Structure 1
Amino acid sequence: MNQGFKNRVQRFAHGLSSKSLVTHIWRYFYIDWEKLGITGWDWNTIRDAVNAAEAWTPPTDYAKLHNADNVAHNHGRHGYVKTTAYSYYYDLVLPFFNTMNKLGVVTNYSEASGDLIGAWTYTASVDPQTNTRSYSTNAYYDRISSRPNIVCLTGAYVSRVVLSDSKNGVSRAMGVEFYSSGQLFFVSARREVILSAGALQTPQILELSGIGNPNILRKLGIPLKVDLPGVGENLQDHFTVTMGAELHGHHITADDLSSEHFAQERLREYRETRRGMLSSTLSSLVFLPASTFIPADTMQRMLASLDRALQTPEIKNSPYKQWYDLQRAWLENDGVAQLEIILFPSYMHVGCTKENAKHYTLSVFLQHAWSRGTVHATSTSIFDPPEIDLATLDSPGDIDMTMLLEAIKYTFKVMQAGALGDLTAKIVAPLPTWSDDRLREYIRSMVKSAFHQIGTAAMLPRSANGVVDSGLKVYGTANVRVADASILPIHLGSHPQATLYG
């Protein structure tokens, strides 16, 4: 196959996949926020905000046959981000549901209710009229881009928020410095400055502006404006490990895109009809509480090890002690999803040597990892990337490794049971025959980010290393707010995109 064409098709398919909105939100997360000292962010408030962002269209009969969410009262109908079920499903979808049901996992027909537990089908950010992605640009910006008071400058780099000296313990944003075409500019702020640079760069901009840990700013030679040691701390993510298998019989999977003729036909089909394989992506997943995939005796040992670790002075004296306690309670709450498994109708590993073989991949995602990383500026220049340490698998009592190990063992059962098991010719990697030690090595070598980073400008009390208050205003400032994933204090048991629109 022509490599350039293949790359274009793969980029097209990946773009549809990676930017689709899974419109699910998680009830327990918001209910428990108040325990962390956060007010005004209860379940009803967040649900209403998410629904206000959504313009949902009910699924087709074909999508309903594949368990698409059709409970109208859990969706918004008059928002801006258009959502609906996909128009194409791979033939592995229903066998996957069959297998999960056989293992005692129920089908969840309305993940938008806030109850994520069970096996279910995505609702995606897709315009059903055009079968194209609906997202912030065409949902929001394009509607108001012609207004005279809206200026969107692309290709610019914000270097810092310019703050006044502290008066009565509060600094005021005078404006923002930014580079464009190699030249430094300043724009004044009459009212407020809102940072939305994401969990990895919002803390960098705050530090370059003089907001952060005094020790870090001193080393960089940045004058301190606001003493906030929580900036860049508390970095959390969802971590994932993939597992691959080869299929019996004839199946159409994304592996077929390796054929130039097949890929060209699918691309032609999508361009002419907005239907077919390239109008969809992965669509099926399952969310499970810890008790479903971790055996009772293993759970007891894991919790005992964790509890010993939580008694260490480092954690007992941590400003984050309250959310450690909250996260500990979630482990024994069967309403809290600790594991996500996604079905990918293709092979995502290297090393497959069988010509024309068809595959599937199951990816396990840890929803509430205990590792806490950091992201900090490395110089006074915005052009130097921040130093990012996800602290992957560095968790109290080694709990993240234990949970991923048990997730893989449980997923072996999924690959061998029910209708999906009947279609599985062989498991390619990892293998059920491997020892725990070898599986741990596999996890260490394969674990990666799900790109759901949050928490680095956390909405928490200032005494708990918070960076913003319940109104998203940065502590110690009069008019600087943060509105992005960095404000989430503790990770969701779901994908964060719908929450961020809300």
Structure 2
Amino acid sequence: MSESFDYVVVGGGTSGLVVAARLTEDANVRVVVIEAGADKRTDPALETPGLVAGAYADDRFIWPFQSTPQAELNGRHLRQDTGKVLGGSSLTNFMMAMFPSRTNLDTWGKMGNKGWSFDDLAPYFRKFSTSHPPSQAIRETLGGLGYYREDLAGDGPVQLSFDDQYSVMNENWFKTFAELGLEMKTDPRTGKAIGAFQNSSTIESGNNTRSSAATAYYTDEIAKRPNLKVLTETTVQKINTETRKGLVVATGVEVKDKDGKVTNITAKNEVVLAAGTIRTPQLLELSGIGDRDLLEGLGIEVLIDNPNVGEHMQDHLMTSQQFPVKKGYPSADGLREPARFQSAFEQYASTKQGPLAGMGTSVAYVPLADRGGVMTQADRKALFDKYLSGGGPALSPVQKREFKLIRELLETEEEPAIQYLCFPGSLTVTPHPDTLTDMFTSHAPYDCIGIMALLNHPFSRGSVHVSSRDVSVPPTWNPNYCTHPLDLEILARTVGFVERIVNTAPYKDMVDPALKRLPDATGDDLETAKEIVRGRTVSCFHIAGTCRMLPRELGGVLDERLVVHGTSNLRVVDASMIPLEPLGNIQTTVYAVAERAADFIKESRKADGISLPIR
């Protein structure tokens, strides 16, 4: 006989643990979380901030998905490493706490999602997190951080803090952007931010360990709840369903444990899919929800014919460059020496201090810019006219509507087109990188600093689809990177803007012109810059949108309460629901959406006559 729960949550990652923790605040509600990975919350490789790069390369912690050949990126197969542990990608990511813009989230509503805007989500950004203010010493190092507002701190379980690994590199970053006319004026959490700023990180204040969904929403106290069960190293193979009154009803899931035993788990109320942007559409398709032709070709019974499942994938691409630093300037490359790394490791293990206690990066949000600086309104209009007014690829009516909204965002100087990051070490010495791991594990024979540029609002759209009826066979992931020429054009211009950064004091004072930079070509020529992008661009692991929240006729899979179209009780709560990629690192948005989804579920339960408190 199968075990029965009120709610079955598929995926114990960033969003799944949020939903489970909130629902089980009511002792009368039974929830099971099913996670394919193991519980690695206390593994030093994951909880130590300075070891983050290694987690991306360790198959104990991640799903190592590989793309099809990407024609516009020199035919490279790019990796997409998503978290396969309790806590999901919140336990393997770069820990950056970045927040979306007001106009960005308001666009979700304009796309056709009633009740979704910046103001609708703002309370949930404060609900999931508690921000700890920067110390006076950090403020002095980084120019005061006068834009930081303590009234936006929040009171949630995920801890956001500022580490103490900042140096003159970070200080010069802020001074250089001030020289470029891009000094931050407002707290980015207000939804309006242009310029250089210091992001906080998901790091516990005081003991400098990673704060994740696993540490915040599955504490020892929560784990003791008798109404919450968490199954690790257990794979969901399909969603079990029935059809009632013309709707598909999720009745539970079929699972396989690490010993190969297959059982069924029953859901009395709902099944919540929180398996991520790649695994969630795979499970929907394996369960009969997707494109009819694809499913019938694999012998899968079609329950709901919706060709939008697995489509419309978006991602932040990142191009990097590195520059040799003069003697006397700090670089993390020194930690590549075994003796220095061992000393830093021992220092962190005993005191939770030292070089491994933080990341030491700083960021900047910048509108469309190139070697000449921020582009004029006329130049931006000309660029979009060239590629979106008949000069680019043929577009469907849905794409035309969507791209019009993105254009409206990017034509202003108030929406960042690019996120720039300064990194205190080498980046991508490997000639043809396919993953972030290649960026952080290779290095030059001399100390370097690096600059990364992330494309905030891509126009290219990819896909994820099943290739077999066997859940253990990875789905086919084709991100279609840079297939829309605007993405390549905008990224190439970032190469030129990086050239402007490193030739502006005081940043340029750190760069040693006598040593080789990588790539050794500059971004002064646009065609050369495009070749740099084609050869050095990788994914930031911010994939989203494969089960978009939109009306079905507009390319959607989910309604505005995250219920799968054509079902009565199958909900999706992860980054696959995102209709338009938010700027910056997406984990904060996923947390906020998960908190709101938990309230949706509580409201639905209350409407059915069963009280479940909303907090």
Q: Could you say which TM-score interval applies, normalised by the shorter chain?
A: over 0.9
Aligned to 1:132: 209
CA distance in 1, matches of 2:161, 2:49: 23
Of 335, 339, 355, 2:418 maps to 339
Of 313, 323, 327, 2:406 maps to 327
Q: Which amino acid aligns with 1:47?
A: A
Q: Does 1:425 align with 2:512?
A: yes
Deviations 1:336-379 (A, max 9, x none): 11011100100113279974x22101011110110000000101
Q: Secondary structure at the match of 1:275?
A: coil
CA distance in 1, matches of 2:202, 2:248: 40
Q: Which amino acid aligns with 1:22?
A: A
CA distance in 1, matches of 2:386, 2:242: 49
CA distance in 1, matches of 2:98, 2:443: 38
8 Å contact 1:90–1:253 — kept in the other structure? no
Aligned to 2:129: 54
TM value normalised by structure 2: 0.76
Kindly tell me: are residues 43 and 435 of structure 1, through their superposed partners in 2, closer, same or farther at Cα, counting changes over 3 Å? closer
Deviations 1:118-145 (A, max 9, x none): 1000111111121111110110112411
Aligned to 1:289: 367
CA distance in 2, matches of 1:354, 1:311: 39
Q: Does 1:12 align with 2:51?
A: yes
Of 26, 45, 60, 2:120 maps to 45
8 Å contact 2:99–2:583 — kept in the other structure? no
CA distance in 2, matches of 1:232, 1:338: 26
Kindly tell me: are residues 11 and 209 of structure 1, through their superposed partners in 2, closer, same or farther at Cα, counting changes over 3 Å? farther
CA distance in 1, matches of 2:469, 2:391: 37
Q: Shift of the alpha carbon at 1:293?
A: 3.7
Aligned to 1:382: 471
Deviations 1:395-451 (A, max 9, x none): 1xx111110111100110101111111111136123227743332222111111110
Of 373, 383, 388, 1:307 maps to 388
Aligned to 1:405: 492
Of 310, 318, 332, 1:254 maps to 332
CA distance in 2, matches of 1:439, 1:62: 39
Q: Shift of the alpha carbon at 1:267?
A: 1.6
TM value normalised by structure 1: 0.92
Kindly tell me: are residues 10 and 282 of structure 1, through their superposed partners in 2, closer, same or farther at Cα, counting changes over 3 Å? closer
Q: Which amino acid aligns with 1:115?
A: K
Aligned to 1:229: 307
8 Å contact 2:427–2:443 — kept in the other structure? no
Kindly tell me: are residues 244 and 423 of structure 1, through their superposed partners in 2, closer, same or farther at Cα, counting changes over 3 Å? same
Q: How many residue pairs are counted as aligned between the two chains?
A: 491
Q: Which amino acid aligns with 1:171?
A: V
8 Å contact 1:320–1:465 — kept in the other structure? no
Q: Which amino acid aligns with 1:114?
A: G
8 Å contact 2:103–2:409 — kept in the other structure? no
Q: Shift of the alpha carbon at 1:108?
A: 4.5
Q: Shift of the alpha carbon at 1:309?
A: 3.5
Q: Secondary structure at the match of 1:191?
A: strand
Aligned to 1:26: 101
Q: Which amino acid aligns with 1:189?
A: A
8 Å contact 1:17–1:281 — kept in the other structure? no
Q: Does 1:366 align with 2:455?
A: yes
8 Å contact 2:429–2:518 — kept in the other structure? no
Deviations 1:24-52 (A, max 9, x none): 23211222222111012222221101101
Q: Shift of the alpha carbon at 1:114?
A: 1.4
Q: Shift of the alpha carbon at 1:252?
A: 2.7
CA distance in 2, matches of 1:199, 1:409: 32
Kindly tell me: are residues 298 and 406 of structure 1, through their superposed partners in 2, closer, same or farther at Cα, counting changes over 3 Å? farther
CA distance in 2, matches of 1:25, 1:319: 23
Of 162, 165, 177, 1:88 maps to 165
Q: Percent identity?
A: 26
Aligned to 2:69: none
Of 120, 123, 130, 2:197 maps to 120
Q: Secondary structure at the match of 2:247?
A: coil
CA distance in 2, matches of 1:446, 1:311: 24
Deviations 1:310-341 (A, max 9, x none): 787x42x4334322210111121221110111
Q: Which amino acid aligns with 1:93?
A: N
Q: Which amino acid aligns with 1:46?
A: L
CA distance in 1, matches of 2:195, 2:486: 23
Aligned to 2:588: 498
What is the alpha-carbon root mean square deviation over aligned residues?
A: 2.4
Q: Does 1:458 align with 2:548?
A: yes
CA distance in 2, matches of 1:162, 1:310: 47
Kindly tell me: are residues 337 and 471 of structure 1, through their superposed partners in 2, closer, same or farther at Cα, counting changes over 3 Å? same
8 Å contact 1:23–1:125 — kept in the other structure? no
